[in-house]
Amino acid sequence: MATIPSETVLLVTTGTVRCALPISSVVETLRQLPLRSFPGVPPFVLGVSIIRGEALPILDLACLFGGTSIGPARLVVVWAGQHKVALAVDRVIGIHHLDSSAMAAAPPLLSSMAPDAVASLGPLDGDLLTVLQLSHIVPDDLWRLLQERGGL
């Protein structure tokens, strides 16, 4: 009997977008915290918060997808490559075992958001699911900018 490839993910929603974050990259979830904003950063960077003694950039996942945030209620701290960031989301749904065979590679059109940030797309419960590749969600030039502005 053949095994179906699967991946364990954390499902979150932001605006009308449902996203899957690889559970291996998730550090923790928590409520929205006070943050300090910085001028001159892209609109999807809400600012920086101190989380467990670390200054972490807070990225608005709705804005990253071109939508408008209604004030995220939760933060999901993830590893984005070698750095930690907090993703501001509306809701954390929970852990899900995703059937990878039902997912398709993301079309090139989506790479304008952040190169290779969308790993795949597919259906889940009659809705579109976007699987993120977190190591590519923050471009290197943004890391440099955040370090210059906030000492991250």
Q: What is the mean pLDDT of residues 132-152?
A: 72
Q: pLDDT tens digit string along 1-45?
A: 344 457 899 999 988 888 999 999 999 999 988 888 878 888 888
111-133 b/e (C-beta count within 10 Å ≥ 16 → b) = eebbeebbbbebebeeeebbbbb
Q: pLDDT tens digit string along 52-66?
A: 999 899 999 888 877
Nearest to 78 by CA among 97, 62, 94, 58: 58
- Give CA–CA dist 29/87, Å, rounded: 9
What global pTM score does this model have? Answer: 0.82
- Domain hosting 45: range is 6-12+24-150
Classify residue 132: in a domain, yes or no. Answer: yes
Q: pLDDT tens digit string along 73-112?
A: 899 999 988 889 999 999 999 999 887 666 665 555 554 4
Q: What is the CATH number of the domain that holds 75?
A: 2.40.50.180
The whole-number pLDDT of residue 94 equals 94
Indicate the number of domains in the chain.
Answer: 1
The whole-number pLDDT of residue 141 equals 76
